[in-house]
Amino acid sequence: MNSSPNSDRSRLARELHDGLAQELAALGYRLDAVIGNPNLDQPSRTELRNLRATTSAMVQQVRNEIFDLRNESDRSIAQSISQMLPQLLSETEIKYEISGEIILLKDKHYDLLRTIRELILNSKQHANCRNIEITLDATQIKYRDDGNFDNKKEREGFGLLGIKERLAKIGATLQQQDSTFVLEFK
């Protein structure tokens, strides 16, 4: 029995809420308890506060994901990317530029946005880049960064495999040359 994309997304949102979101929140409360220990030395307290801030950011990220899974966006893909980029790149000096626009069917919006998010995270974590360019047009999205791209390393990772699987699900493909990725769709 096949399920619809909307029911799959609702199920995933429930699983994220009931599992990961709850576990992260519980971790945050446990960190709060340890941070409150009067016998804790200051360097440890500072490190634990940093971990607590990271945990809070992760909880918020999971909540945003749950919201996105449950609510189809009325925003365009360019608007969604523009909203996402500052959040993902807030602790970096990476500059970005988005140009163009795409009119998409709602069923492709979420998966394309998640794909762009994964590419941004790869640029942030692995490429040591200073600039990201995203160009949108009728049948493709071109993503490029100016970082050091280790093609062998990326081929071995799960990120690109996940991207290709996600794109195949919506009838899209990924072409890659060095640090330029072209997502083509119908």
* DSSP strand pairing (173-177 vs 140-145): unpaired
Q: Per residue in 100-126, pLDDT tens? A: 988 766 778 888 888 998 999 888 888
Sequence ranges of the domains in the chain: 5-70, 77-184
Q: What are the tokens at 164?
A: 């290709």
Q: Per residue in 71-104, pLDDT tens? A: 666 678 888 888 888 888 888 899 999 999 887 6
Which of 164, 53, 146 shows the shortest CA–CA distance to 97? Answer: 146
Contact 172, 99 (CB under 8 A): no
pTM of the model: 0.69
Is the CATH code 3.30.565.10 the one for domain 77-184? Answer: yes
Q: Per residue in 124-180, pLDDT tens? A: 888 889 999 999 998 899 999 998 766 545 545 677 888 999 899 999 999 998 889
